[in-house]
Amino acid sequence: MSYRDTYDFWMTDDYFDEDTKKELAAIADDEAEIEDRFYRDLVFGTGGLRGVIGAGTNRMNFYTVRKATQGLANFIVKQNAQDKGVAIAYDSRKYSPEFAAEAALCLCANGIKSYLFESLRPTPELSYAVRKLGCTAGIVITASHNPPEYNGYKVYWEDGAQITAPKDREIIAEVKAVTDFHTVKTMDKQEALDKGLLTIIGAEIDDAYMEELKKQIIHPEIIKEQSENIKIVYTPFHGTGLVPVKRVLSELGFKNVYIVPEQELPDPEFTTLEYPNPEDPKAFELALKLAKEKNADIVLATDPDADRLGIYALDTKTGKYMPFTGNMSGLIIAEYQFRERTKCGLMPKNPAMVKTIVTTNMADPLAADYNVNLIEVLTGFKFIGEQIKFFEQNNSYNFVMGMEESYGCLVGTYARDKDAPVAVMCLCEAAAYCKSQGITLWDHMLDLYEKYGYYKEGLYTITLKGVTGAEKIRKIMSSLRAESLTQIDTLKVLKVRDYEKNTITDLATGEVTESGLPQSNVLYYDLEDGAWACVRPSGTEPKIKLYYGIKGTSLDDADAKLEALQTALVEKLNKLAE
């Protein structure tokens, strides 16, 4: 069917309700909008399904949520795993509770047990709940940090990590095979409860999750000692982080935790924010204002589904709050974990850290320093979570922590997705430790640079929306591929990694080896002088992403090097996007 035919079908078939038809009638004269809403089905990207809320096959709505769930249900029934069930959580977004209930009732109608959280919960708690309840799968209704007009659907498998290949392909094939909406099942909520197919979950999982978080603490005594001294400002950005973060910090004994009042309560419009993403410095405005009033040591923010964490820390010399990138906060946590676990004899045998290919290379000397094995995976925390399963299956390594540049971090293996409450907790412990030494996290970061090298990284994105945008992104990638760059700015390209072709080409020798990672549309350039660049289309937003990094000899040298590389790369990408 063409997009027009699909539009007409939605306008006329009695399966679709009157509100949907009204919404679609309003765009009858807007061909581009009709095309964008119907030219494809929503696709599973880096973080599952994600799309703008509205009527259409390429939108998040009751019909697309049900269809995705029916596909998942068909897959589960084929595996004969109905009895193990599916855990379902949701965040504070528009329609999140409604979509979650819809998914639960579709599963129940297919004879699959559903465990639905009574109210909003963080994504990592769902990852934990899947294993705790022995479920076969999990679902979170969230669009993570995307703008308010979005929602999404993340799918987890029994190991607690988001689905990866080949399971993702198999489930997607089942979803695609649902071509007739009339075959999508649903059932009455009361009937599902009466039949024992639907169970509402809450406090018992919260308590167990909380205990798991606290097990990751290394020095409770230092927290106690500093509990009156350290001042923490926290904002949940109107999302799910408030309850677990407040609880864990309070149970650990932190006395001075100030929540940003304007952003404390759930709000699907994210009224006080342009973009509820800790990657966006503007999102910290209110938190920094409160931090100055309270003279806080550290400022923390979690995104709406509480899987990402962003921080600022006080520079006592200048009195300014300094921003940490996801790379920096991840490294602070990693270094503290490695150092203190080693010192206290708590480091497991064969320890491993997992990071993505676009995450800072400063992790390399740090991991080497503590004899920690460093494993690299493609972008997406699902690939980090998946490694824990592999370690267990092969009895190879013991996972200590995972981190990625996009503000995601996990310490421990109780969950298999990035976990902002655990990251907040670990950073507050590290901050308390620093306080006991008379320094701040910022001073400590400077010490780490001095010890391991001045690694700095940047990210530049271009938003290219709709059908034409997707086509442009495709063209940019193929132009770059065709161009075979040998130099970027003044830096020679040493190696080109093409993850789509599964090749790593050494430009000096011409030798070609395999990338060793799953196929993905990613180009990565290893450059001279410890620098690198990487380009890939986003899998969650209509964007092309350019990542880059350098290694400097001082903060100033690093800034100058990063700026030079960034200018050259941005100019190149902008030209390709013209």
Ligand X SMILES: O=P(O)(O)OC[C@H]1O[C@H](O)[C@H](O)[C@@H](O)[C@@H]1O
Catalytic residue chosen out of the listed positions 114, 127, 144, 515: 144
Residue 521 interacting with ligand X (CB under 6 A): no
Of 540, 562, 569, 573, the residue at the interface with ligand X (CB under 6 A) is: 540
Rg of the chain's alpha carbons, rounded to an integer? 24
Dihedral angle computed from the Cα positions of residues 329, 330, 333 and 337, in that order, rounded to the nearest 10 degrees: -160
Q: Are 131 and 159 a contacting pair, CB within 8 Å?
A: yes
Q: Classify 472 as helix, strand or coil.
A: helix
Q: How far apart, in whole angstroms, are the C-alpha atoms of residue 241 and residue 308?
A: 10
Contact between residue 384 and residue 402 where contact means Cβ atoms under 8 Å apart: yes
In whole angstroms, how close is the CB of 452 to ligand X at the nearest point? 23
Does 144 qualify as catalytic in the annotation?
yes
Nearest distance from C-beta of residue 28 to ligand X, angstroms: 32
Between 62 and 275, name the residue whose CB sits nearer to ligand X.
275
Choices 196-204, 286-294, 327-335, 532-540 (CB under 6 A): range interacting with ligand X? 532-540
Residue 443 — φ and ψ, nearest 5°? -55, -40
Cβ closest to ligand X, residue 106 vs residue 353: 353
Total residues at the site for ligand X (CB under 6 A)? 15
Candidates 75, 312, 381, 397: give the one binding ligand X (CB under 6 A).
381
Residue 150 binds ligand X, judged by CB under 6 A: no
d(CA 286, CA 395): 47
Angle value at C-alpha 286, between 320 and 303, nearest 5 degrees: 105
Judged by DSSP in three states, 531 sits in: coil
154 is an interface residue for ligand X by CB under 6 A: no
Show the binding pattern over residues 48-87: x = contacts ligand X (CB under 6 A), - = does not: ----------------------------------------
Q: Which of 538, 557, 564, 570 binds ligand X (CB under 6 A)?
A: 538
Cβ atoms of residues 99 and 281 within 8 Å: no
Residue 284, CA distances (Å) to 237, 303, 396, 474, 490 in order: 9, 11, 41, 34, 36
Segment contacting ligand X by CB under 6 A, of 310-318, 401-409, 435-443, 448-456: 401-409
Residue selected from 10, 47, 163, 430 as contacting ligand X according to rule CB under 6 A: 47
Per-residue interface string for the shown chain with ligand X, residues 301-340, x marking contact by CB under 6 A: ----------------------------------------
Q: Identify which range of 253-261, 330-338, 431-439, 540-548 contacts ligand X by CB under 6 A.
A: 540-548
Among 110, 379, 387, 566, binds ligand X (CB under 6 A): 379
Contact 153, 60 (CB under 8 A): yes
Report the residue number, 505 or 538, with the smaller CB distance to ligand X.
538
Q: What angle do CA 467, 472, 473 make, to 5 degrees?
A: 100
Distance separating alpha carbons of residues 112 and 480, to the nearest angstrom: 47
For residues 87-146, which are near ligand X according to CB under 6 A? 144
Those residues with Cβ within 8 angstroms of residue 180's Cβ, 6 or more apart along the chain or in another chain: none
CA dist 168 and 174 (Å) reads 10
Out of 231, 389, 435, 545, the residue judged to bind ligand X by CB under 6 A: 545
Q: Which residues are catalytic?
A: 144
List contacts with ligand X (CB under 6 A).
46-47, 144, 356, 379-381, 404, 406, 408, 538-541, 545
